[in-house]
Structure 1
Amino acid sequence: MSNEALKETVIAQSQIITALIAAVRKKDALDLTLFTDLIEQMRVPHKEDETGKNKTYNQVIETAKSACLIRDQQP
């Protein structure tokens, strides 16, 4: 893993944790809509460019969002 990819991963994980804490504290339960909204707001300055910068960041964010949706669809 390159230094840039590692940096992107750490930033993404930090933002995911921040969004999860905020989404849980709001209602004392995980509000997935709020979590998704917060993640998308944080994601704005991290769009992938033609050089591939932020590609790893966006992959980590998408994985977290997918995991939450899977969790939400469980009985």
Structure 2
Amino acid sequence: AIEEVEQAMKGDDKAAIEAAVEKLTQAGQAIYQKAAEQAQAESAAAEGEGQAESGASDDDVVDAEFEEVDDDKK
């Protein structure tokens, strides 16, 4: 698409230049959309891994009962 714009710019046909630029713009948007989808997928995967790791670190938690002792009552 870039080459098409460069070729169109060598000529004097404004419509050809605009068509080539439009095609380049559409290609750029498609690339951006694909990159955004990939980044979102990677973010979701990293978030899932983070939750799995935080669940694993909870192994040190101990459930216990306690009784509060009031020192004023003797």
Instruction: Give the TM-score normalised by structure 1.
Output: 0.35
| More relative contact order, 1 or 2 (CA 8 Å, 6+ apart) | 1
The structure with the larger Rg is: 2
